[in-house]
Structure 1
Amino acid sequence: MTQSWKLTLPCTRAEAEALGEDMGLLADLDPPPALMTSEMEEDNPDKWQVDAYFEGRPTVQAIALLQAMIPSSAGTEPVLERLPDEDWVTLSQQGLEPIVAGRFHVRNHADDPVPAGLVPLLIPAGRAFGTGQHETTAGCLMMLDRCRRLGERFGNIADIGTGTGLLAFAALHLWPRAYATASDIDPAAVEVSAQNAALNGVAPGGGRGEVSLYVAAGVDHPALHVRAPYDLLVANILAGPLIELAPSLTAVIDEGGTLILAGLLADQADRVVAAYRAQGMRLVDRIDNGHWPTLRLRKRPVIGWRRPRRWTPGANGEAPGYGSW
């Protein structure tokens, strides 16, 4: 078993955002490190931290690469520690308290009690992110719940960058006769989502009330094209990939369809909305959960010769390197 190491450096929120959007030359390492950024002091954008997890002790060159990407860390001594021979992703999520978002109660342990009147969802700590604790995932759950309370009806749902499958499962609870498609760029996330589907009583498959799972970057998969157009699409990833994917995500949404976006920070929202407005989407709702907004957009119907063309493979349907919260 390869020994894992953690490298910690201080950073600013702006630097954390930049790392989330582009790992730079770190992405060329074999294997690349996993980066996690966190806020150290609430409402202080200059007090953030990046933790880089490496398989094997990082080289001097790798440490220098990371530090070069964080200008504010110049002159700071990196903190390097060897981790126990355990799964650090699982360890990082152990002991998380259940959360309530809308009508949903998301727990990581099967024996956690579920309050009466709430919909239970079980997402164990594991290799994929999206256990509900992050504000972006909770915001998506709240937005889905709000859609249902407003009387929205959806029959063909997609969850792009699904992570653990949580948002797809929640959507199927709200619209149990819908078709559901979930995808992620990470094969491990798709495998975890399949396991979580079984835990939550969601059947795999392509029928109503079932979920189809695919490994895909963005919507770059033939099955995702065949199952389009979607009347509800959820994408909880990062601002950079969301902007890059605006043409291809919009193209697979039905006219009048709904798009829920998350994974962006408040000061990135205008850029994300502008990218989708250029594709014929309009903002209809927003939930702010701390610094993390969740956006709901609707696709404008287009009539006649200006009707948009369907997206085809190769037309900006891929955003390599993104993940989900």
Structure 2
Amino acid sequence: MTAASAAAKSRSSKHCNPTRRGLFPAGMTTWKLTFACKRAEADIFTGDVPELADFDPPPVVMTSEPDESKPDDWQLDVYTEEHPPQALIEAVSALLPSAKGAHTLVELADEDWVTLSQAGLDPVEAGRFFVHTAADAELLPPGRIGLQIEAGLAFGTGQHATTTGCLLTLDALDFVPENVLDLGTGTAILALAAAKTWPGAKGTASDIDPVAIKVSRENVEINGVKIGEAAGEIALYVADGLEEAALAARGPFDLVVANILAGPLIEMAPSIAAALAPGGTLVLAGLLAGQAEAVEAAYRNCGVAPVSRTVIGEWPTLRLLKA
């Protein structure tokens, strides 16, 4: 496999979440172990994976959706500094029953794979937003809102349809929010979009993953937005849903954006609805077209009614309004 093809594989990556956060320095040989899997199996690897925690040196695990027209078919890539031991192969295989142990293993040439994955991302235009890496900063069109997001350790580079759908929905909003929550922020891309669109708003971004918040902090600083709790700033929290007291105290919010998955969105419907101010707007994504009705029903039962959908392929973004 060439370096170019390896970088291209990461373009559709939804989760790039290194297990135990290991990263490989440039100039060393790397091994790549690849499995075909299902989306539900790939989601296991979006956080810490206890089954892989004891391997030393730790592997880097990346999940991707190679073909958005097949939303249930995903790919898992495991990168290791040395030839992967059989115990690691067996541990990963046990978590991917659909693969039935089938995998490929290649030795990669000396490369800085984080840099390569970033270089493989093309800019994304979504309404007034222009999402780009540092390498493409000079391509920002006049009058557009630039969002510099590097590929790396968390979900949300603008490449995936769910993120693009959220950006398009934010772009179409016809009111000026004062208190915004980006729940499950990933890279803080949506919190940044809100902060740059409505610079007077108080922003909050939370994620269950501490690494996502670390990445978010870096992105907020890169994009010239202040980190803090005042209007015009973004406060960052490591939190599981809305259970964190400090996060809950930031509400009620007149705009909540949650790009997660259908299951958690349904499970958290009561708490998300409670955090939303009367008349507030809710933007939900991360669900498949066939899951939209169930998600809408869960929120309708909590007093939050569907208003519109933005659909990109199999991925709808829902806009809802609290009575």
TM-score (ref. length: structure 1) = 0.79
Which residue in 2 is equivalent to 1:29? 51
Q: Which amino acid aligns with 2:257?
A: V
Distance 1:241 1:220, change over 3 A: same
Q: Which amino acid aligns with 2:163?
A: T
Distance 1:106 1:199, change over 3 A: same
Q: Which amino acid aligns with 1:172?
A: A
Q: Deviations over 1:240-296 (max 9, x none)?
A: 221221121111111221110111111221221122222221110110112111111
Q: Percent identity?
A: 48
Q: CA deviation at 1:87?
A: 6.5
Task: For 1:45 and 1:227, locate their aligned partners in 2 and report how far apart those are by CA, in whole Å.
Answer: 35
Contact in 1 for aligned 2:117/2:152 (Cα 8 Å): no
Which residue in 2 is equivalent to 1:299? 322
Q: Deviations over 1:15-54 (max 9, x none)?
A: 32x2255569x943133974514244x64578x3421426
User: Where do residues 1-325 of structure 1 align in structure 2 (5 Å cutoff)?
Assistant: 6-11=32-37, 15-16=38-39, 18-20=40-42, 27-31=49-53, 34=61, 36-40=63-67, 43=69, 48-53=73-78, 57=84, 59=87, 60-68=89-97, 70=98, 73-74=99-100, 77-82=102-107, 88=113, 91-110=116-135, 111-147=137-173, 151-300=174-323
Which residue in 2 is equivalent to 1:305? none
Q: Deviations over 1:166-221 (max 9, x none)?
A: 11111112221111110111112111211211221111111111110111111121
Matched residue of 1:162: which SS?
coil
Matched residue of 2:218: which SS?
helix
CA RMSD of aligned residues (A): 2.7
Q: CA deviation at 1:127?
A: 2.2
TM-score (ref. length: structure 2) = 0.79
Task: For 2:168 and 2:237, locate their aligned partners in 1 and report how far apart those are by CA, in whole Å.
Answer: 25
Q: Deviations over 1:51-109 (max 9, x none)?
A: 142657362431431342x1xx44x7321345567665554332211110010111112
Distance 1:167 1:106, change over 3 A: same
Matched residue of 1:211: which SS?
strand
Matched residue of 2:166: which SS?
helix
Q: Which amino acid aligns with 1:275?
A: A
In structure 1, the gaps of 5 or more residues are 301-325
Task: For 1:197 and 1:33, locate their aligned partners in 2 and report how far apart those are by CA, in whole Å.
Answer: 25
- Give the count of matched residue pairs: 286
Matched residue of 1:141: which SS?
helix
Task: For 2:259 and 2:71, locate their aligned partners in 1 and report how far apart those are by CA, in whole Å.
Answer: 22
Contact in 1 for aligned 2:140/2:146 (Cα 8 Å): yes
Contact in 2 for aligned 1:232/1:253 (Cα 8 Å): yes
In structure 2, the gaps of 5 or more residues are 1-21, 25-29, 54-58
Q: CA deviation at 1:117?
A: 2.0
